[in-house]
Structure 1
Amino acid sequence: MQAFEIMVTKVFKVKEKDTIRSVLNKFIDHGISGLPVVNDRNEIVAFISDGDIMRLIGKHNDYVIDNFYVIGVIKGDEDEFEERVQKILDLNVMAIAKIKVHKVQWNEEVENIAAILGKKQIKKLVVERNGVLVGIISRGDVIRNSFKGLLE
């Protein structure tokens, strides 16, 4: 079994010029927890997850935002929680998205995908073909398809 046989092809994504506000709207509207970030050619340039945002809204003392690049997290002692959350909404997605994206090719074997998801301890892999985003595979996709028809 290969990636293209189990991947979800209706992939919600954001552009590299989008804000955290648009990311959060997609998370909430579609009940998802992570999105690929693509450029104008639909090439995968980053990935943003709910964990990236969680780290940002937590209370910290040693981080500041500088010119759309997060040197760390917004200072927690100086701002109230609501103020920090408000500031985060208009940040550029690339300020906190992970640039090192775990991805596989459209024809990757499912057993290799399972190994990557397990070893890297991640929930999703983006799937590309010829450098372009074509799908996404979650742990659930691998499990559902691997054991399909084998359970009573």
Structure 2
Amino acid sequence: MRISEVLRNKGAEVVTIGPEATVRELLGVLAEHNVGAVVVSVDGVSVDGIVSERDIVRRLHRVGAGVLDSPVREIMTAVVHTCAPEDRVESLRSTMTQHRIRHLPVLSNGRMVGIVSIGDVVKHAISELQTEREHLEQYLRG
């Protein structure tokens, strides 16, 4: 299955935040949209970084509550792994596992067209296993 099919099933909405927004504002966005990561983008279509709940927790542990008034750009991951709509979900599994990444923005011609999470990849794997099981059961029944 290709990433484009995953996006077709889940939708292409990507939650973004500007790099100058505060971490406090970021927390509000994460809670409002019930997501674990947000793409940092100046214009809503380019990827300038990504920031996750983990990033917040780690920085909060290191520097304390003062981080809440810091700009998102100070805690975001600036080098972001991405994928393309034509990439296969199976290759994403490997990338996510190898680099310990839970969210990958999907880019087409340099523009963000979606985001894929580890949950999407797991959902795909479960769906594949269920389909395979059904085929095997049908085969055994004759």
Same fold, judged at TM 0.5 (above): yes
Which of the numbers 124, 134, 139 marks the counterpart of 1:145? 124
Question: Once the 2 structures are TM-superposed, how far is the Cα of residue 41 of structure 1 from its aligned partner?
Answer: 5.9
CA distance in 1: counterparts of 2:90 and 2:117, whole angstroms: 13
* TM-score scaled by length of structure 2: 0.81
Which amino acid is 1:16 matched to?
P
2:127 match: secondary structure: coil
* TM-score scaled by length of structure 1: 0.76
Q: Which one has a larger percent strand, Structure 1 or Structure 2?
A: 1
Question: Between Structure 1 and Structure 2, how many residues are aligned?
Answer: 128
- Structure 1 gaps, min length 5: 59-72, 75-83
Q: Which one has a larger percent helix, Structure 1 or Structure 2?
A: 2
Which of the numbers 83, 95, 98 marks the counterpart of 1:104? 83
1:48-87 matches, within 5 Å, as 48-58=51-61, 73-74=62-63, 84-85=64-65, 87=66
Task: Give per-residue Cα distances to partners, 1:79-127, cap 9 Å, x unaligned.
Answer: xxxxx42x22221110110101111112111111111011111111111
Q: Quick one: structure 1 residues 40 and 30, their matched pair in 2 at CA, closer, same or farther if it must change by over 3 Å?
A: closer
Which of the numbers 44, 48, 53 marks the counterpart of 2:47? 44
Confirm or deny: 8 A CA contact 1:41 1:132 kept in the other structure: no
- Structure 2 gaps, min length 5: 134-142
Aligned-residue CA RMSD (Å): 1.7
